């Protein structure tokens, strides 16, 4: 059953086509399947030589570089559990993740060591910390750094990955089954404390299979991602499909609106993924010739540009598509390759059952909103539970369905349409309001670059709608009332925001999700514009 274990798929590729160029980093170089497998085996041998046992956790605080893939795969070869962490995490959030996962080892790039040191000093069982050796771009092996670097309670210098892996041999074989607990992947924590999702090898490969069913990847494709590899999208809808179909993946360090199209052109990419604000930011830029000078045939665009999908595709010259997935559960919904359904997020993919339910878990009729609940038809295709949080596991899986917390509607043909996160939806004047729909209207204003809508508690026991707005840099002066007037002509009266504030940027995770919990916590400030209570009579 090697097809459901990532490092065994890599082993087979390395044996059959060791010179196949599997992954290229735009700020480094290209790596063959054989090179990556040798690096992963060196990690596995180093972990075993250091006395780490199967089931021990290894936290990875590594950006988009070959070291991340080598350590993620090598940890699995040794039978240990990888814990990829968002490199932006620090303070109490990082402390929560390390305390919950309890790693024996943290492998991190130098720039993240000070934050790790502060947190590690306060842990009951402090992990060993290794600094990722800084190899010159284009080198074939990691160079061992010299000179001690003190970062709070953690001293590095001798403790480098280069030294740790020196003199590597052949790792002792470990049993690897599709059901084996392989990774702890943390949720983004946009609505509350992050939970550590226990992934099996099968779950990771299942996410890749679903992505392939939507994107139609082939060996002739060049996949491109500027999303972080520590996130499920970069790892499972980019790297693993490339590995499975023996294509090539090109990885950029991060997303840049100005650098996106040059990177696409340079990479020769044929497929890519756009998450969060990426599509909107590209759409808001002034049109230019470079945005059609590429080989892209298809892109995953989430969320889609509501009402502008065909215009979006025509401008940029590729087909867009959708899927629905999460770190918690996998990818149960998507638009199968070769099919079209504008603005739908898909239909159940092979191996999944999906339904919409009300607050009592009773199925709702087609056309009515309900919470999406899902369950797999194949063993170990979804999470093994939340690590160290059995109560959260039981709550999420009540009545033997996984509760996603996302509101959707289904049409009579069986297509699902995303409405909102359940925790982001609002209720005012007895009506339910989708923050997503409010945001789409606000962002359609010609002077607005980005927006986030969320509820503020009302004295009447419901919500008042608040929106945080980021204006385009080249936009003429615009007043809060101008934006709200735009909304009044395009939204029902009860959905028009009462409160508005302008921000330089929205707080986001590294996967471009807005941290609405931060915005709600900030609440109303001196800079917040209050339009007053909204009524039916205020329509223009």
Cα–Cα dist 168/40, whole Å: 11
- The per-residue pLDDT for range 337-348, each reduced to its tens digit, is 999 998 899 999
pLDDT on residue 424: 75
pLDDT on residue 426: 81
Other beta carbons less than 10 A from residue 311's beta carbon = 11
pLDDT at 357 over 80: yes
pLDDT at 144 over 60: no
CATH code, residues 427-530: 3.30.300.30
Q: Please give the share of the chain, as a percent, with pLDDT higher than 90.
A: 71
Q: Is 413 helix (H, G, I), strand (E, B) or coil?
A: coil
pTM as predicted:
0.81
Instruction: Give the mean model confidence (pLDDT) for residues 147-173.
Output: 68
What are 241's two structure tokens? 């499909």
At a CB cut-off of 8 Å and minimum separation 6, what does 16 contact? none
Name the average pLDDT for the chain.
Answer: 89
Q: Is 331 helix (H, G, I), strand (E, B) or coil?
A: strand
- The per-residue pLDDT for range 485-515, each reduced to its tens digit, is 999 978 878 889 999 999 999 998 766 778 8
pLDDT at 539 over 50: no
Instruction: Give the mean model confidence (pLDDT) for residues 57-84.
Output: 98
pLDDT on residue 137: 38
pLDDT on residue 538: 42
What does the DSSP assignment read for 261-323? Answer: HHHHHHHT-SEEEEETTHHHHHHHSPP-GGGGSS---EEEEES--TT-HHHHHHHHTSEEE-E
Largest Cα–Cα distance of the chain, in whole Å? 77
Instruction: Give the mean model confidence (pLDDT) for residues 154-163.
Output: 66
pLDDT on residue 298: 97
Do the first three CATH levels of 200-421 and 427-530 match, i.e. the same topology? no
pLDDT at 89 over 70: yes
The residue ranges of every structural domain in the chain are 2-19+28-199, 200-421, 427-530
**In the CATH hierarchy, which fold is given to the domain comprising 2-19+28-199?**
Rossmann fold (3.40.50)
CATH 3.40.50.12780 fits 200-421, yes or no: yes
Q: Which residue, 120, 125, 111, is CA-closest to 154?
A: 120
């Amino acid at each position: 059953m090697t097809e459901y274990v990532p490092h065994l798929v890599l082993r087979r590729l390395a044996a059959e086509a060791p010179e196949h160029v599997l992954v290229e980093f735009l700020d480094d170089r290209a790596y063959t399947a054989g090179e990556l497998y040798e690096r992963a085996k060196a990690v596995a041998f180093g972990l075993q030589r250091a006395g780490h046992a199967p089931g021990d956790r290894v936290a990875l605080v590594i950006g988009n570089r070959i070291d991340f893939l080598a350590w993620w795969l090598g940890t699995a070869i040794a039978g240990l559990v990888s814990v990829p962490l968002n490199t932006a995490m620090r303070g109490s959030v990082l402390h929560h993740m390390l305390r919950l996962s309890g790693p024996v080892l943290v492998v991190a790039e130098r720039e993240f060591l000070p934050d790790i040191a502060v947190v590690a000093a306060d842990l009951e069982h402090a992990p060993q910390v290794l600094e990722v050796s800084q190899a010159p771009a284009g080198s074939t092996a990691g160079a061992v750094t010299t000179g001690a670097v003190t970062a709070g309670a953690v001293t590095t210098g001798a403790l480098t990955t280069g030294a740790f892996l020196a003199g590597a041999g052949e790792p002792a074989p470990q049993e690897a089954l599709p059901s084996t607990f392989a990774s702890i992947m943390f949720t983004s924590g946009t609505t509350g404390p992050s939970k550590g999702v226990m992934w099996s090898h099968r779950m990771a490969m299942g996410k890749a299979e679903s992505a392939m069913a939507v994107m139609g990847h082939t060996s002739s494709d060049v996949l491109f991602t500027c999303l972080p590899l520590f996130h499920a999208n970069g790892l499972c809808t980019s790297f693993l499909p490339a590995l499975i179909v023996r294509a090539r993946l090109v990885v950029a360090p991060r997303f840049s609106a100005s650098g996106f199209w040059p990177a696409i052109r340079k990479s020769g990419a044929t497929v890519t993924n756009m998450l969060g604000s990426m599509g909107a930011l590209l759409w808001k830029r002034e049109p230019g010739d470079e945005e059609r000078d590429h080989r892209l045939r298809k892109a995953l665009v989430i969320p889609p540009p509501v009402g502008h999908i065909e215009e979006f595709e025509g401008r940029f010259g590729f087909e867009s598509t959708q899927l629905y997935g999460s770190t918690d559960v996998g990818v149960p919904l998507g638009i199968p390759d070769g099919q079209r359904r504008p603005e739908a997020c898909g239909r159940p993919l092979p191996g999944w059952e999906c339904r919409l339910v009300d607050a009592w878990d009773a199925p709702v009729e087609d056309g009515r909103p309900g919470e999406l609940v899902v369950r797999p038809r194949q063993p170990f295709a979804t999470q093994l539970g939340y690590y160290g949080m059995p109560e959260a596991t039981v709550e999420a899986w009540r009545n033997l369905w996984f509760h996603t917390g996302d509101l959707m509607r289904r049409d009579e043909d069986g297509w699902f349409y995303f409405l909102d996160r359940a925790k982001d939806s609002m209720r005012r004047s007895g009506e339910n309001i989708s923050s997503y729909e409010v945001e789409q209207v606000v962002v359609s204003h010609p002077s607005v670059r980005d927006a986030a809508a969320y509820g503020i508690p009302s004295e009447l026991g419901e919500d008042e709608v608040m929106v945080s707005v980021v204006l385009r840099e080249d936009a003429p002066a615009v007043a809060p009332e101008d934006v709200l007037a735009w909304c009044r002509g395009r939204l029902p009266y009860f959905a028009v925001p009462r409160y508005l504030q302008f921000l330089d940027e929205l707080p986001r995770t590294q996967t471009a999700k807005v941290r609405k919990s931060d915005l709600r916590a900030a609440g109303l400030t001196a800079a917040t514009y209050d339009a007053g209570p909204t009524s039916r009579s205020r329509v223009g």
